[in-house]
Structure 1
Amino acid sequence: MTQLQDSFLTGVPTGLLLDGEWVRTERTLEVDDPATGMVLAHVSDADVSDGLEAVSAAHRAFGPWAAAAPRVRAEVLRRAYEIMSAEAEQCARLIVLENGKAWSDAVAEVTYAAEFFRWFSEEASRVPGDFRLAPGGDKTIIVDHQPMGVAYMITPWNFPAAMATRKLAPALAAGCTAVLKPAAETPLTALWVAEVLRRAGVPAGVVNVVVTSEPGPVSEAILADRRTATLSFTGSTPIGKLLLALTATRALPSSMELGGNAPLLVLEGADVEKAVDGAMVAKMRNGGSACTAANRFYVHESLATEFTAAFERALGALRIGSGLDPANDLGALVSIRERDKVLDLLERAAEEGGRPGPAAEVPATGAFIAPRVVRDVVHGQTLTRQEIFGPVAPIVTVESTDQAVELANDTEFGLISYVFAADAGEGIGVARRMESGMVAVNRGVASDPAAPFGGMKESGLGREGGFAGIHEFLEPRYLAVDL
Structure 2
Amino acid sequence: MNREDVLAKVPFGQFIEGSFVSTADTFQVHDPATGEVLAEVSDAGPMHAKAALDAACWVADDWAATEPRKRAEILRRAYELIVARGDEFATLMTLEMGKPLAEARGEVAYGAEFFRWFSEEACRIEGRWTTAPLGGNRLLTMQQPVGPVYAITPWNFPLAMGTRKIGPALAAGCTVVIKPAKLTPLTMLYLMQTLKDAGVPDGVVNCVTSSNSAAVSKPIMEDPRLRKLTFTGSTEVGRTLLKEAADGVLRTSMELGGNAPFVVLADADVDQAVAGAMPAKFRNNGEACTAANRFYVHESIVEEFTAKLVAEVEKLVVGPGMDQATTLGPLIDDDAVAKVKELVDDAVAKGAKVLTGGAPIDGDGHFFQPTVLADVPRTARLLREEIFGPVAPIVTVDTDDEAIKLANETEFGLMAYVYSRDISRVVTAAERLESGMVAVNTGVVSNPAAPFGGVKQSGLGREGSHEGLEEYLEIKYLGIAL
Fold similarity call, TM over 0.5: yes
**Residue 37 of structure 1: aligned partner:** 35
Mapped pair 1:240 → 2:238 = yes
Counterpart selection for 1:314 from 312, 315, 322: 312
Contact preservation (8 Å) 2:357, 2:372:
no
Question: Secondary structure of 1:366's match?
Answer: coil
Q: Distance in 1 between matches of 2:464 and 2:362?
A: 38
Q: Which amino acid aligns with 1:409?
A: N
**Residue 194 of structure 2: aligned partner:** 196
**Residue 77 of structure 2: aligned partner:** 79
Contact preservation (8 Å) 1:80, 1:200:
yes
Contact preservation (8 Å) 1:419, 1:439:
yes
Q: Distance in 1 between matches of 2:132 and 2:190?
A: 50
Q: Distance in 2 between matches of 1:349 and 1:118?
A: 44
Q: Distance in 1 between matches of 2:137 and 2:404?
A: 50
Contact preservation (8 Å) 2:177, 2:206:
yes
Q: CA deviation at 1:440?
A: 0.3
For 1:98-109, list aligned pairs within 5 A: 98-109=96-107
Q: Distance in 2 between matches of 1:356 and 1:261?
A: 21
Question: Secondary structure of 1:447's match?
Answer: coil
Q: Which amino acid aligns with 2:452?
A: F
**Residue 391 of structure 1: aligned partner:** 390
Q: CA deviation at 1:362?
A: 4.9
Counterpart selection for 2:136 from 131, 135, 138: 138
**Residue 379 of structure 1: aligned partner:** 378
**Residue 221 of structure 2: aligned partner:** 223
Mapped pair 1:429 → 2:428 = yes
Question: Secondary structure of 2:378's match?
Answer: coil
Counterpart selection for 1:292 from 290, 293, 296: 290
Counterpart selection for 1:280 from 278, 281, 289: 278
Question: Secondary structure of 1:74's match?
Answer: helix
CA-to-aligned-CA distance 1:173-209 (integer Å, 9 cap, x gap): 0000000000000000011111111110000000000
For 1:49-448, list aligned pairs within 5 A: 49-359=47-357, 362=361, 364-448=363-447
Q: Distance in 1 between matches of 2:218 and 2:248?
A: 12
* Stretch of structure 1 that moved more, 349-358 or 176-185: 349-358
Question: Secondary structure of 2:189's match?
Answer: helix
Structure 1: segments with no counterpart, 5+ residues: none
Q: Which amino acid aligns with 1:382?
A: R
Q: Distance in 2 between matches of 1:423 and 1:33?
A: 46
Contact preservation (8 Å) 2:150, 2:226:
yes
Q: Distance in 1 between matches of 2:5 and 2:224?
A: 42
Q: Distance in 2 between matches of 1:380 and 1:61?
A: 54
* Stretch of structure 1 that moved more, 272-281 or 359-368: 359-368
Q: Distance in 2 between matches of 1:365 and 1:424?
A: 48
Aligned-CA RMSD value = 1.3
Q: CA deviation at 1:364?
A: 2.4
* Stretch of structure 1 that moved more, 255-264 or 353-362: 353-362
Q: Summarize the Cα distance change of 1:394–1:5 in structure 2 as closer, same or farther, 3 Å threshold.
A: closer
Q: Which amino acid aligns with 1:144?
A: M
Question: Secondary structure of 2:466's match?
Answer: coil
Q: Which amino acid aligns with 2:92?
A: L
CA-to-aligned-CA distance 1:59-116 (integer Å, 9 cap, x gap): 0011111100000000000000001011111100000000011112111111100000
Mapped pair 1:465 → 2:464 = yes
Q: Distance in 1 between matches of 2:362 and 2:447?
A: 34
Contact preservation (8 Å) 1:424, 1:441:
no
Q: Distance in 2 between matches of 1:460 and 1:193?
A: 26
Identity %: 51
Q: Distance in 2 between matches of 1:412 and 1:343?
A: 23
Q: Which amino acid aligns with 1:262?
A: A
Q: CA deviation at 1:424?
A: 3.3
Contact preservation (8 Å) 1:424, 1:442:
no
Contact preservation (8 Å) 1:124, 1:174:
yes
Q: Distance in 2 between matches of 1:156 and 1:189?
A: 12
Q: Distance in 2 between matches of 1:332 and 1:451?
A: 30
Q: Distance in 1 between matches of 2:468 and 2:91?
A: 28
Q: Distance in 2 between matches of 1:100 and 1:20?
A: 30
Q: Which amino acid aligns with 1:297?
A: F
Q: CA deviation at 1:425?
A: 3.4
Q: Which amino acid aligns with 2:315?
A: A
Q: Which amino acid aligns with 2:447?
A: D
Q: CA deviation at 1:5?
A: 7.2
Contact preservation (8 Å) 2:346, 2:380:
no
CA-to-aligned-CA distance 1:324-372 (integer Å, 9 cap, x gap): 1222111111112212211121111111211122329957211111110
Q: Which amino acid aligns with 2:128?
A: D
Q: CA deviation at 1:43?
A: 0.5
CA-to-aligned-CA distance 1:450-470 (integer Å, 9 cap, x gap): 000000000000000011001
Contact preservation (8 Å) 2:99, 2:329:
yes
Contact preservation (8 Å) 1:81, 1:118:
yes
Q: CA deviation at 1:252?
A: 1.0
* Stretch of structure 1 that moved more, 247-256 or 361-370: 361-370
Q: Distance in 2 between matches of 1:134 and 1:270?
A: 53
Contact preservation (8 Å) 1:256, 1:462:
yes
Contact preservation (8 Å) 1:320, 1:362:
no
* Stretch of structure 1 that moved more, 449-458 or 361-370: 361-370
Q: Distance in 1 between matches of 2:424 and 2:244?
A: 44
Mapped pair 1:482 → 2:476 = no
Q: Which amino acid aligns with 1:176?
A: C
Question: Secondary structure of 2:433's match?
Answer: coil
Question: Secondary structure of 1:467's match?
Answer: helix
* Stretch of structure 1 that moved more, 336-345 or 172-181: 336-345
